[in-house]
């Protein structure tokens, strides 16, 4: 989708930098913290960073996948593996450019020592509360720490002892010495190192001091010679400190930070903390629950990667914060699947249709198009027999106005086959219709209705004799309100109780043999995918990816 004539403001900056010779090529990075699974917001960032590298491949452009794993307490290798798999699934490749920020711990340390030596950092031994209080606020300037003017040698020695494990957590920190009166609170001597006696997944127990994100991130970018460091808008006020670090540390390159607006989606929560809560509290079945906005969730839901990339392209890159309607994503999924997904028949709410004039024990081969608009997708054969499954709502005992399907003495066409006329029906004790009877009109297969026969609709069906029982999971939005984050009782209070309905359905026999993640349209019903985890030929399981139309309007 790089056919867009107009570049977004970031691509424009990069094009200018290449044209002016400021950079010979561009190196971007996608820097997830491995503390959760990737979500659709990350997809926007991945498409931007890897997309720029692809578009500028002729200049040797690259995009690094960098795990920002400097915080020991929250990270797990499960997340590293899932993040790699998700980036690949989305269609991107980091090649050899896989990095872990934790490999740079020694470099961060050296930079910190360099700052101390130059009088630009000091060890502060105030309590965390004192540090917080003395930072002031928007109206009140900060007050300098009593340790701010301590000699360089003293800070050097204390910092080494911090590293050596001589202090408990909270007893000492390293702070950059910038400006306690700065109007930007970020610049009021930010903490750049803290003590954490924690095990790290990569470095084990080698360290007990860890750099703060704002200090480590620009150094990671510089170390990897990133040219353009693209991040979301909330980092805009941190940019002066980003530049300060780059300016005052011995770094091999000077990356430029550029901010863009994050993706927010209606009917969705997107913070990893909240997604983790949904998983931990078993409100969903896992990170890959098809209702989750995680990439593994939407993948299992049957959203094609290409549709997600198209969606990100359509949303675009701007500096305006807003909420994107999730219907736009669903539109892209529908639009893509409409073109690529073959058609199949499945009956989700089955009622028996008995064709009384069809000879017992016989069946007929029916040839059906796999796609109404794409003959190249070929045809398939399904068997028709005396007893079929049809949807319960394709019969009405007392047909309402403009209802053109089955009712007493009414005609309807069975998709790809004959016209039938309803001759009767049967109900159970509760009044529910359990069987519909009809007669078929020989000679109407592939032919118009005979004179005097009113037939305005076709319905789908599955042969009761040949069909296969399948579990069908109808997924809907996970939340009932557009802005779950703003719900009075918290986002958990607005979970949609009907976000999953599990049905016992009947499907065409061939659907038992499809591979997991195979997508099709169930005619008249929507787009469905064979479940990535649970689908088996002995027990087919299909997830609804998206309905044929937007029913939320």
346 neighbors 472 (Cβ within 8 angstroms): yes
Query: Of 39-47, 316-324, 361-369, 487-495, which segment contacts ligand ATP by CB under 6 A?
Result: 39-47
Alpha carbon distance 22, 16 (integer Å): 8
- Residue among 177, 239, 272, 300 flagged as catalytic: 272
Stretch that binds ligand ATP, among 29-37, 199-207, 351-359, 545-553 (CB under 6 A): 29-37
Q: Does 272 bind ligand ATP (CB under 6 A)?
A: yes
Distance CA 363, CA 461 (A): 14
The strands making up 519-522's β-sheet, listed across from edge to edge, are 343-344, 519-522, 526-530, 541-547, 468-475, 500-507, 346-347
Residue 263 in contact with ligand ATP, rule: CB under 6 A = yes
Please report whether residue 45 would count as binding ligand ATP according to CB under 6 A: yes
Half-sphere exposure of 323 (CA within 13 A, CB side): 14
Residue closer to Mg ion by CB (options 33, 243) is 33
Cβ at position 33, least distance to Mg ion in Å: 5
- Whether 106 and 219 have beta carbons less than 8 Å apart is answered as no
Residue 275, H or E segment: helix 272-280
Question: Does the active-site annotation cover 236?
Answer: no
Q: Exactly one of 84, 262, 437, 445 is catalytic; name it.
A: 262
Question: Which of 11, 14, 23, 31 forms a contact with ligand ATP (CB under 6 A)?
Answer: 31
Q: Which of 7, 15, 18, 33 binds ligand ATP (CB under 6 A)?
A: 33
Binding mask of the shown chain, residues 391 to 430, with x at each position contacting ligand ATP by CB under 6 A: ----------------------------------------
Contact assessment for residue 122 and residue 86, using Cβ atoms and an 8 Å cutoff: no
Distance between CA 85 and CA 107 in Å, rounded?
29
**Inter-helix orientation angle 305-315/40-55, to 10°:** 80
Residue 17 or 33 having the CB closest to Mg ion: 33
Give the list of residues 6+ apart from residue 102 with CB closer than 8 angstroms, or none: 67, 69, 70, 200, 201, 202, 203
| One-letter-per-residue 3-state SS of 377-412 | HCEEEEEEECEEEEEHHHECCCCCCCCCCECCCCEE
Given ligand ATP, Mg ion, none, residue 155, with its beta carbon under 5 to 8 Å by kind, binds none
Residue 262 a catalytic site member: yes
Q: Which does 145 bind (CB under 5 to 8 A by kind): Mg ion, ligand ATP, none?
A: none
Which one of residues 74, 225, 254, 262 is an interface residue with ligand ATP (CB under 6 A)? Answer: 262
Instruction: Tell whether residue 229 is a contact of ligand ATP (CB under 6 A).
Output: no
Q: Which residues are near Mg ion by CB under 5 A? A: 33
Which residue carries 């980036």 as its tokens? 87
Nearest CB to ligand ATP, comparing residues 36 and 416: 36
| Options 4, 59, 118, 271; binder of ligand ATP; rule CB under 6 A | 271
Cβ-in-10-Å burial (0-12, 13-18, 19+) of 402 comes to exposed
Rounded Cα distance between 282 and 274, Å, is 12
Q: Which is nearer to Mg ion, 33 or 476 (CB)?
A: 33
Catalytic site includes residue 33:
yes
Active-site residue list = 33, 262, 272
Residues forming the site for ligand ATP (CB under 6 A) = 31-33, 41-42, 44-45, 231-232, 262-263, 270-272
């Amino acid at each position: 989708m790089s056919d867009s004539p107009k570049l977004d403001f970031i691509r424009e900056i990069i094009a200018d930098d290449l044209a002016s010779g400021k950079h010979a090529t561009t190196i971007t990075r996608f820097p997830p913290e491995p503390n959760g699974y990737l979500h659709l917001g990350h997809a926007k960032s991945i498409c931007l960073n890897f997309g720029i590298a692809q578009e500028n491949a002729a200049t040797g452009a690259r995009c690094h996948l960098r795990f920002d794993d400097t915080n020991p307490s929250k990270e797990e290798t499960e997340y590293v593996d899932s993040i790699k798999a998700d980036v690949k699934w989305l269609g991107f490749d980091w090649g050899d450019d896989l990095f872990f920020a934790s490999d740079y711990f020694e470099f961060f340390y050296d930079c910190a020592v360099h700052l101390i030596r130059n009088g630009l950092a000091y060890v502060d031994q105030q309590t965390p509360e004192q540090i917080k209080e003395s930072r002031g606020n928007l109206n009140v300037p900060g007050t300098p720490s009593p340790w701010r003017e301590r000699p360089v040698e003293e800070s050097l020695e204390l910092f080494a002892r911090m590293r050596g494990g001589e202090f408990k957590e909270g007893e000492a920190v390293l702070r950059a010495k910038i400006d306690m009166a700065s109007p930007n609170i970020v610049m009021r001597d930010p903490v750049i190192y803290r003590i954490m006696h924690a095990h790290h997944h990569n470095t084990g127990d080698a360290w007990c001091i860890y750099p703060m994100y704002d200090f480590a991130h620009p150094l990671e970018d510089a170390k990897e010679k990133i040219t353009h460091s693209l991040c979301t808008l909330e980092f805009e006020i941190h940019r002066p400190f980003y530049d300060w670090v780059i300016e005052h540390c011995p770094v091999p390159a000077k990356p430029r930070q550029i901010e863009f607006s994050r993706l927010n989606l209606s009917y969705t929560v997107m913070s990893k903390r909240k997604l983790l809560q949904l998983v931990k509290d078993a409100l969903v079945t896992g990170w890959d629950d098809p209702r989750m906005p995680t990439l593994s969730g939407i993948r299992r839901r049957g959203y094609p990667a290409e549709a997600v990339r198209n969606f990100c392209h359509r949303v675009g890159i701007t500096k305006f914060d807003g909420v994107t309607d999730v219907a736009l994503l669903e539109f892209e999924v529908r639009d893509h699947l409409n073109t690529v997904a073959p058609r199949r028949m499945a009956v989700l709410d089955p009622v028996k249709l008995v064709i009384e004039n069809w000879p017992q024990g016989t069946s007929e081969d029916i040839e059906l198009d796999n796609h109404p608009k794409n003959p190249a997708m070929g045809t398939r054969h399904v068997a028709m027999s005396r007893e079929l499954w049809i949807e319960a709502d394709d019969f009405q005992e007392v047909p309402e106005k403009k209802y053109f399907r089955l009712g007493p003495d009414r005609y309807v066409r069975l998709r790809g086959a004959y016209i039938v006329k309803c001759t009767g029906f049967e109900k159970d004790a509760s009044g529910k219709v359990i069987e519909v009877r009809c007669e078929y009109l020989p000679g109407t297969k592939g032919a118009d209705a005979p004179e005097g026969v009113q037939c305005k609709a076709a319905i789908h069906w599955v042969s009761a004799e040949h069909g296969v029982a399948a579990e069908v999971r109808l997924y809907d939005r996970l939340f009932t309100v557009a802005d779950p984050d703003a719900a009075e009782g918290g986002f958990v209070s607005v979970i949609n109780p009907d976000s999953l309905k599990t049905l016992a359905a009947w499907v065409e026999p061939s659907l038992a043999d499809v591979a997991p993640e195979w997508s099709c349209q169930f005619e008249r019903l929507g787009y469905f995918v064979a479940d990535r985890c649970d689908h088996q030929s002995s027990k087919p399981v299909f997830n609804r990816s998206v309905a044929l139309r937007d029913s939320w309007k």
